Amino acid sequence: MSDEATLAALNYRLRATAEQEGLLDVAYRTIDTPIGQMLLAATDAGLVRVAFATEGLDEVLQQLADQVSPRVLLAPRRLDTAASQLDHYFAGDQATFDIPLDWQLSAGFRREALRQLQQIGYGTTQSYAQVAAATSSPRAVRAVGTACATNPLPIVVPCHRVTKSDGTRGNYRGGIAAKDFLLDLESPAAP
């Protein structure tokens, strides 16, 4: 057996044993998308993090270890459904996501604002002010911006659908080009 095959077999056994023994708190995998490589991470409760390569995947893994649990392991199988749904989304075949979410990386008003984002339909946008108006703090426009900027579940929780009041697209955690791509993908004029 080659060194690579031996390492793969050991990694598989480690993942299997960790899952069996309840020692796998955060599973992760990477996927290739039209906007670059992305990291997906999940706990037993659900998808906890979606990260863009521009965020630094090693840094994201360290944040997960610090904020969720140090027991983080490459275990792609736990994320098969999320990866499949994202593939279908990027292919233009899926408008919504049906996967459990773990909200532990957002709390208070940020979590409320992010949950409101899930009400913004595919192919539509809302301004930060419109999102704020639908929350318990209708004047918290800047706080909605902060919630979007720190959204741990971009794309799945569609912060890319939030724009400035003047209709301009505004900033995005994954970069302006990624936001443009996502909004264009969802555009009614898209094929």
Catalytic residue among 159, 162, 178, 183: 159
DSSP character string of 100-133: -B--TT--HHHHHHHHHHTTSPTT--EEHHHHHH
Active site residue 148: no
| Beta bridge mates, 122 | none
R_g (Cα) of the chain, nearest Å: 18
Q: Quote the CA–CA distance of 122 and 119 in Å, as a whole number.
A: 9
Q: Quote the CA–CA distance of 88 and 136 in Å, as a whole number.
A: 34
Enzyme catalytic residues: 159
